[in-house]
Chains A and B, each alone.
Chain A
């Protein structure tokens, strides 16, 4: 978490956005992020983001559920209290399948959603800086990071040349903080 300076440009069509992302990256600017109202397939690859490993996490949570269910039921019926149910086996695998399956799904789903929220830093009462409120409506907002070597005027002109509108400079916190959306509690004044 730190306070940084950003150059913000808005696009109103994803057809303009795609080539713009490529050009901006080629020109050597660092894209902080692109905020979009809906998922745009291929934008992550265009921005050079690596694929998410959330699936792998889900698989690991899933097998944790499987083993938890099987070992627990097995322990209960063979060690803790080996109840004689009509002389049937103490470890009836077929009868354990339904609960094993349910716990696999439960662990995987709950684990993945929590991981998703952790990775994206999403939680109730969390507040973040929004570069443009219309990013959740109809604008695709590209945010460039400004560093010591960036010439702001050049960068703004470049964004305009690739089709961005409403270009401005913002100083903002790039992480999250606990805050309310009805209050102007921006941590830094730009």
Chain B
């Protein structure tokens, strides 16, 4: 048989409990078919209220202009662009899990990839709002597209990293959506074929595009996933690289740094994994999916967090070192504005350092990596820290201009700028609550695919292979 199903018994199972294919379907589809819990309604209500508050805040901004956000000539980018970079960064973990780990053949991704990809899409949706509304005259947002117009035609500037961002973010959103939805098709068909209610059969019938499970379709589906993963891998690296170019290609001290692309990508994955933890720790508990999102999954993701957190830490220290080593007075001043305790924003710098560099080091301890409460707490800490990283980069680099007369007084956001940020939380969680109710939060077909290899109840089945010598094993399983 060509399907080699061997996984050492030493490795912990990725699906615990006595499972059959049918049981997998039952477990994952159950939350979709049942009535939502009271907690779900409460959560959704809070999210929708936040969303509406965000809509009102944005309305104020559209009517009165971006001065409504306390932005001024010196601090042209404040909370707004901070939030943009933060949300885009969060999205990156989903693509890392679904694409990069697929190329690396990591079996554990199957338990978390669906929810993480959904998180990516919702996070990018939230991120996109910020630059669009930061334009001020949002009704002219379409000016960023290169279309033939009556003004010349006056084209967009293809040399500008801000335009690269337009292309990067929109491509990223489109490709993530296609990747996510093409993976969903077979699972939606599973829901359709089980449905008893008419409306459910009809709805999932439309959503599943008439998927049958034909072998030829599966073969193409596999090819499609693999190529989309291969495309998404450089794509996700390029997206945050381009986001970092928004800063790195400028001549502002503190932004004008060649280390930005790798440092931003690592930071993005770091914060994204933290968000995945926040969401999945709650989801697995509420939807009773502990058998599919096991402690093993949580621990592996914590390992990624400590790795990427440390990369980010090295980047922070490198930046500091280079500002001294370069001996450029402006660069040195920009960094002094961060670490010198007597400056107005030093607190944010030290908050960032402790949340992003010091805090994740606790994950060197196995017991803490496998502690749910601690992981949940840390996932929040990391995201607070990563928000402050962008805040430090953006605000502390611009609030003291070259010209002391344009030095800004202390910048703090208005309630409407905070409201816009809260509104994107509302959007994000509204989408996530609806997703967790109407879509399978775990890739059913992919779990079934790894079940006989990584399922707990199938581990004994590996006895024969486990005892074989290398030669016997190779002889039996070699290509034929």
Contacts and interface: CB of A to CB of B under 8 A. Distances in A.
- Chain B binds chain A: yes
Interface of A: 14-15, 18, 33-47, 49, 51-52, 54-55, 58, 62, 72-73, 76-77, 80-81, 83, 85, 88, 92, 95-96, 98-99, 101-103, 105-106, 108-110, 112-113, 116-117, 119-128, 130, 133-138, 141, 176, 180-182
Given A98-B238, A112-B228, A113-B178, A120 B190 contact: no
A10 to B, nearest CB: 12
Interface of B: 1-3, 20-22, 25, 146, 152-155, 157-159, 161, 163-164, 167-168, 171, 174-175, 178-179, 182, 185-186, 189-190, 192-195, 198-199, 201-202, 204-207, 209-224, 227-228, 231-232, 234-235, 238, 242, 245, 444-446, 448-449
Contacts of A123: 209-210
7 contacts: A34-B214, A52-B219, A98-B242, A99-B164, A106-B171, A112-B228, A135-B212
Of listed A33, A35, A37, A46, residue having the most chain B CB within 10 A? A37
Nearest to B200: A182
A121 B217 CA distance: 9
B220 A136 contact: no
Given A99-B158, A110-B174, A137-B194, 19 more contacts: A18-B3, A37-B448, A38-B218, A46-B2, A54-B220, A58-B231, A80-B153, A85-B159, A95-B159, A102-B168, A106-B175, A122-B185, A122-B210, A124-B206, A127-B205, A128-B210, A136-B189, A138-B22, A182-B198
A37 B232 CA distance: 26
A35 B216 CA distance: 9
A41 to B, nearest CB: 5
| Interface SS of B by simple majority | helix
Nearest to A98: B164
Contacts, number: 210
Given A38-B446, A80-B155, A135 B3 contact: no
A11 B334 CA distance: 69
A182 to B, nearest CB: 4
Contacts of B209: 117, 122-124, 126
A65 B318 CA distance: 37
A38 B211 CA distance: 12
Contacts of A43: 215, 218
B218 A39 contact: yes
Contacts of A73: 158
Contacts of A14: 3
Contact of B202 (A45, A103, A181): A181
A15 B205 contact: no
Contacts of A39: 218-219, 221-222, 445, 449
A182 B217 contact: no
Contact of B220 (A37, A62, A77, A120): A120
B186 A176 contact: no
Contact of B193 (A42, A125, A136): A136
Contacts of B228: 109, 112-113
Contact of A109 (B146, B174, B192, B206): B174
Give the 3 A-B residue pairs with the shortest CB-CB distance, closest first.
A181-B205, A42-B2, A138-B21
B174 A122 contact: no
Nearest to A135: B213
Given A98-B164, A105-B234, A34 B154 contact: no
A46 to B, nearest CB: 7
A71 B289 CA distance: 51
A113 B213 contact: no
Contact of A40 (B25, B189, B218, B231): B218
Contacts of A80: 153, 155
Nearest to A132: B193
Nearest to A104: B231
Nearest to A139: B21
Contacts of A85: 157, 159
A105 B175 contact: yes
A37 B221 contact: no
A181 B167 contact: no
Given A77-B158, A125-B206, A136-B213, A105 B199 contact: no
B447 to A, nearest CB: 8
Nearest to B204: A181
